[in-house]
């Protein structure tokens, strides 16, 4: 298909949409704020953002699975009041029924629409063939690799011949080579004359993936989610990752994500809640390793250059940058990261001094660590059940994300010798000499 971003018919009109939930203490948690966006026929649009940007929430609102708390979404001019009849969704987790065969899984949506068995079998087999799974119609999901399971997810969506194909991080659960292969096949399908879908909207946190696939990259800011930029990608497909234009776009978008969005005044970090500012998925060792690299480059480094030198994707380093910024060890300036004085002190200190510096910064600037310290201070025996903290986190995170947040907080607290966790008792206990008060 050709890119008709400016002239294609409007399929989805997102008009001043807000989305909020109620937090553990009854507070209002704003996930999306003043979202205005149109999705048009003939384009692939990438929603790109970091944790807390609400990109998956926005996708579910477009699918009609969630109703916004403010504003309106219209499909072909008609306000959505339930499931979007013109959309199909591909999930990150495959979401296949393990007791059904490939063909039965692909037929599910057609069966729900009341399509007669013979017709839906024909349509399912066509979709299976289109996505390259012919020969596996009678296989069960457990017999398939991750890439093949995701192909089933694609076929299940495409068999409905939706106007709008919605994809929520569809490649993030796959290994690098499989993901690259499926991205290429998606682009090839898009370029065929008989591809049934008129628009693709993909949620991703991977900058290169967005630039590889999309005609337009919508960059979302965080806490609450909002659009901070729309970047057109005018390069012809297939796109070369090493081409100067491609690299320039990646660098531009990286600068938008780090320079405009994530640098917050210290006071904002120090008063934020664990929901508003989640802990980045980064170990203390990983954070320290990044700081050492930046220190070795004179205290300022171009992160895309570091990623290339280490043979990593930019997105692999982003959580480390987020953690360094959150703790006050780094500043983000467009495409560069800069070591702060406290970050330099941490990098050059001996082990005990580095632990002390880390404890002070985490206690003051990492909201969940601060929350746990506050709970320990409030209990006479300076201990708290981990399940209590976990239940609170589940008010604002999925079960898996809540557990990961707790694991990170425990790891950070252990390193700083603020508190420890006993698996047998399930309790978090303050270290004997720990100063738990934020200074």
Q: What is the pLDDT of residues 8-37, one digit of tens each?
A: 899 999 999 998 877 655 667 788 989 999
**For position 3, what pLDDT does the model report?**
46
Give the pLDDT band (50/70/90) at residue 73.
very high
Short-list 68, 59, 66, CA closest to 88: 59
Q: Which of 293-297, 300-304, 408-412 has the lowest mean pLDDT?
A: 300-304
Among candidate residues 229, 259, 289, the one where a domain is terminated: 259
Residue 338 sits in the same domain as residue 213: no
- The CATH number that applies at residue 150 is 3.40.50.300
- 359 and 233 in a common domain: no
Structure tokens at 416: 């700083």
Same domain, 164 and 280: no
Grade residue 4 by pLDDT with cuts at 50, 70 and 90.
Answer: very low
Are 67 and 111 members of one domain? yes
Q: Please, which pLDDT band fits residue 264 given cuts at 50, 70 and 90?
A: very low
- Banded model confidence at residue 274, pLDDT cuts 50, 70, 90: confident
- Residue 112 pLDDT class (50, 70, 90 cuts): confident
Q: Establish if 251 belongs to a structural domain.
A: yes
pLDDT in tens, 298-347: 999 887 778 777 777 666 788 898 899 999 999 887 668 899 999 999 99
Q: Quote the mean pLDDT of the chain.
A: 85
Looking at 23-37, 265-279, 339-353, 404-418, which range is the least confident one? Answer: 265-279
Above pLDDT 90, what percent of the chain? 38
Pick from 35-39, 116-120, 260-264: least confident = 260-264
pLDDT at 334: 66
Specify whether the CB–CB gap between 344 and 295 falls below 8 A. yes
- pLDDT for the residue 355: 93
Region 109-123 average pLDDT: 86
Task: For residues 198 and 221, state if they share a domain.
Answer: yes
pLDDT computed for residue 203 by the predictor: 92
- 224 and 269 assigned to the same domain: no
At 92, the pLDDT band (50, 70, 90 cuts) reads confident
Q: Residue 247 falls within a domain, yes or no? A: yes
Sign of the Cα pseudo-torsion (85, 87, 90, 92, in order): negative
pLDDT value of residue 261: 39
pLDDT of residue 146 exceeding 70, the answer is yes
| pLDDT recorded at residue 6 | 52
In a domain, 5, yes or no: no
- pLDDT bucket at 263, cuts 50 / 70 / 90: very low
pLDDT band at 134 (very low <50, low <70, confident <90, very high): confident
Looking at the structure of the chain, the number of domains it has is: 2
Question: Using CA atoms, how far apart are residues 224 and 396, in angstroms rounded to an integer?
Answer: 13
Tell which wins on pLDDT, 423 or 395.
423
Quick one: pLDDT band at residue 214, thresholds 50, 70, 90? very high
Q: What is the pLDDT of residue 72?
A: 93
Please give the pLDDT value at position 328. Answer: 93
Q: How far apart are CA 116 and CA 352, in angstroms?
A: 70
Quote the pLDDT of residue 256. Answer: 82
Confidence of residue 276 (pLDDT cuts 50, 70, 90): confident
Give the span between the Cα atoms of 405 and 400, in whole angstroms: 9
Model pLDDT for residues 217-252, shown as the tens digit of each residue: 999 987 788 899 999 998 888 888 888 888 888 888
Both 292 and 430 in one domain: the answer is yes
Kindly state whether residues 281 and 159 are assigned to the same domain: no
Is the per-residue pLDDT at 260 higher than 50?
Answer: no
Say what the pLDDT of residue 240 is. 85
The answer on 216 and 183 residing in a single domain is yes
**Host domain of residue 46:** 10-259
Give the model's pLDDT for residue 269.
55
Residues 156 and 125 in one domain: yes
Q: 255 and 307 share a domain?
A: no
Instruction: Mark which of 237, 259, 281 sits at the end of a domain.
Output: 259
2 in a structural domain? no
Q: Report if residue 4 sits inside a domain.
A: no
The domain boundary residue, chosen from 209, 225, 259: 259
> What does the pLDDT read at residue 24?
56
Please indicate, yes or no, whether residues 164 and 219 belong to a single structural domain of this protein: yes
Task: Establish if 90 belongs to a structural domain.
Answer: yes
């Amino acid at each position: 298909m050709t890119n008709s971003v400016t002239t294609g018919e409007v399929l989805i009109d997102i008009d001043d949409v807000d989305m909020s939930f109620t937090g553990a203490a009854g507070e209002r948690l704003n996930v999306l704020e003043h979202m205005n966006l149109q999705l048009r026929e003939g384009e692939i649009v990438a929603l790109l953002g970091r944790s807390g940007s609400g990109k998956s929430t926005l996708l579910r609102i477009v699918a009609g699975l969630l109703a916004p708390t403010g504003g309106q979404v219209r499909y072909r001019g008609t306000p959505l009041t339930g499931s979007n009849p013109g959309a199909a969704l591909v999930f990150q987790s495959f979401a296949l029924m393990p007791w059904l065969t490939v063909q039965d899984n692909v037929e599910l949506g057609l069966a729900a629409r009341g399509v007669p068995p013979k017709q839906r079998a024909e349509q399912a087999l066509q979709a299976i063939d289109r996505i390259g799974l012919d020969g596996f119609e009678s296989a069960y999901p457990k017999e398939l690799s991750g890439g093949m399971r995701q192909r089933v997810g694609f076929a299940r969506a495409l068999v409905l011949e939706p106007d709008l194909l919605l994809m929520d991080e569809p490649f993030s659960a796959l290994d690098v080579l499989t993901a690259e292969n499926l991205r290429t096949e998606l682009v090839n399908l898009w370029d065929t004359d008989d591809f049934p879908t008129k628009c693709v909207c993909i949620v991703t946190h991977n900058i290169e993936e967005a630039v590889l696939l999309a005609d337009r990259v919508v960059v979302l800011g965080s806490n609450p989610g909002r659009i901070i930029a729309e970047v057109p990608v005018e390069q012809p497909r297939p796109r070369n990752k090493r081409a100067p234009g491609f690299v320039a776009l990646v660098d531009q978008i990286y600068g938008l994500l780090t320079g405009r969005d994530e640098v917050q005044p210290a006071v904002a970090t120090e008063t934020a809640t664990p929901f508003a500012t989640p802990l980045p998925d980064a170990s203390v060792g990983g954070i320290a390793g990044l700081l050492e690299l930046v220190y070795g480059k004179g205290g300022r480094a171009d992160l895309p250059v570091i990623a290339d030198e280490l043979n990593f994707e930019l997105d692999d380093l982003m959580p480390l940058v987020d953690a360094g910024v959150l703790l006050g060890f780094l500043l983000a300036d467009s495409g560069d990261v800069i070591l702060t004085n406290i970050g330099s002190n941490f990098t050059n200190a001996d082990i005990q001094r580095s632990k002390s510096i880390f404890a002070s910064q985490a206690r003051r600037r990492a909201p969940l660590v601060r929350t746990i310290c506050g709970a320990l201070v409030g209990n006479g025996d300076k201990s708290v059940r981990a399940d209590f903290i976990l239940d609170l986190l589940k008010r604002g995170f999925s079960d898996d994300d809540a557990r990961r947040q707790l694991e990170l907080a425990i790891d950070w607290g252990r390193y700083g010798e603020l508190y420890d966790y006993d698996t047998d008792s399930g309790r978090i206990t303050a270290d004997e000499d720990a100063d738990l008060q934020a200074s």
